[in-house]
Every structure is written in C-alpha cells, then in structure tokens.
Amino acid sequence: MTGSQDQSVAGTETRLRAFERDAALLRAKLHRYASRMVGSVIDGEDIVQEALAKGFVAIRNGDMPDKTEPWLFRIAHNAALDFLRKRARSRGRESEVELDTIADENPALDARIAAEASLAELMQLPPAQRCAVVLKDVLGHSLEEIGEILETSDTAIKGALQRGRDSLRKLSAAPRTPSPRPALNREEMRRLGDYVAAFNARDFDGLRGLLASDVKLELVNRLRADGKEYVGNYFGRYADETHWHFTTGIVEGRPAILVTSPARPDGPPRYFILIHWEDGRIAGIRDFLFADYVMDGLDYSDVK
C-alpha cells in the first residue's frame, strides 16, 4: 500500500470515528423523530439503525458532510418516508397534502401540545405536517435547520407546520378514548410468562435449554450475536446484576417483557425485551437495555 493510500485509509477511519461520536450523541434525538414519524418506537429504532448504517457507508465512500446533524436527520427522514410508503401500499392509504403559508399563532402552546401528543395522535397527521411539527415543536429545530434537513423552502415548512398544529389542537381538545386491548395468543403469553418466571427465579440454565441452535440476540445500541453457545452468555450478565425485575406486558400491541426495578416491581418499566419463538424454542431476543430512549412515547400495558 502506498503512502497516499495509507493517508486515505487513515483519513476515512478518522472521519468514521468522528461520525460515530456524533451519531452516539444524536441517537436518542433521531429515535424521537423517527418513532413519531412512523408511530412506533420499535419501527423507529429500525429506521435509526438504517440511517446510521447508510451514514457509515456514505462516509466510507468519501461523503463527509459539513454538518452531521442535518445530514443524518435527512437520511433518517427519507428512511421514514420509505417506510411509510411501503406501509401505505400495504394498507392502501396515507396521503400527502399541499402546503400553505400561515403565520404562527401561539408557538409555546403548540410546542406543549406537540410534546404531549401520543404517537397515535401524531400518526393522524399527513407525513409532511407530522415531520414539520416534530422537528419544530418537539425537537426544537429552527426553520433554517428544518430547511437543511428537508431541503425545502421556509414557505413549505411554515404551511405544513401550521396545518399540523391546527390538527393537533383539535385532537388535543377531543376526549381521549383508550386503545382497544389487542387479542393475545394464549400460547405465546403462556410461554412468555414461563420465561419471565424462570428469569425472576434466576433459572438461567433452564432458559439456555430453550434456545434454538441458531438463536439471534440483539442488545440494541450495543451488539448482535448468533448461535446458542454465544447467546447463552447473555444470561450471565443478568445473573451478575440485581437491579431488574421482569413482568409480562404488551408493547405496541405485541407480547413483551417489561423490566422494572426490584424496589418498585409495579412501577413504570425502565426498558423492555421482545422474544421471538419458533417451534417452542427461543429464536430471537431483542433487548433494549442499552436503548432506554425508546421508552419516550411508548404505548405499553402490563398483563396481570
């Protein structure tokens, strides 16, 4: 390898390390945006991961933005729109609207309403309005910053923002009705309950025996691992710790494990875990221990 090639490789690695540091600081903020764009903290995490992966690839290919934040938000925004288009095709709906320019009326009130809006309420806004409201009123971006992210004019942003704000005001004034409880698969809930009971009893050998040979583990925002032998070590971390208590619950309509403090087992969950079963075996574990930012806006309930 020549000296110039060495310098090029070293320069790329330096840029990647800088991007990695910036991305770590922005990850929770990116997730807050993505989850509100698609109406799911779980899907929002998938979009964040996709955006970060695309960012790393772009930098390896020589693309280094002057400003990391708007560039990365733009990637996440486009990934969210792609996700919505795919879902719209499967559902046969989700439309954009034309944008008007209307002056702001009460920015402080609008920001409070947007910050308190549920993911379900935000999903009632068309994507363009939802994007403008979340970036401006939830995340606090300026119109100039939003323009950098979306590569669009102040006129379009102001129109989408005002229409979105008007819609959220109406939604916030309407009576809220609880979401219908999803129909649960009894067998899956039984298996999950047995898993939780074994975990709380620290029967980790029993749980290792339930792992499929090709089980996949994702410690979100930390690592991925495949294979029964490697994933079996995952339980060792929990065996060494005492600051957790597992309960069965529902997260965004799907069975999940809610992790609470032993001192407050009936208190709010600190994070959650998803278990995927195949043929009675544990085929996948997705643990959000290192990604507790997903709890912001999470729709969950416990199962007694």
Is 96's pLDDT higher than 80? no
Q: How much is the mean pLDDT over the chain?
A: 87
pTM: 0.85
Cβ proximity of 300 and 232 under 8 Å: no
Q: For residue 46, how many other CB atoms are within 10 A of its CB?
A: 15
Q: What is the pLDDT of residue 47?
A: 97
**261-279 pLDDT, tens digit each:** 988 888 899 999 999 999 9
**30-89 pLDDT, tens digit each:** 999 999 999 999 999 999 999 999 999 998 887 777 888 999 999 999 999 999 988 877
Assign 107 a pLDDT band (cuts: 50, 70, 90): low
Domains of the chain: 3-173 (1.20.140.160), 186-302 (3.10.450.50)
Assign 198 a pLDDT band (cuts: 50, 70, 90): very high
The encoded tokens of residue 160 equal: 């989408």
Sort strands 281-287 and 211-219 into parallel, antiparallel or unpaired.
Answer: parallel
Is 106's pLDDT higher than 90? no
Can you tell me the distance from the alpha carbon of 200 to that of 150, in angstroms, rounded to the nearest whole number?
A: 47
Average pLDDT over residues 123-141: 93
Assign 18 a pLDDT band (cuts: 50, 70, 90): confident
Report residue 181: phi and psi, to 5°. -70, 130
* Greater model confidence, 99 or 111: 111
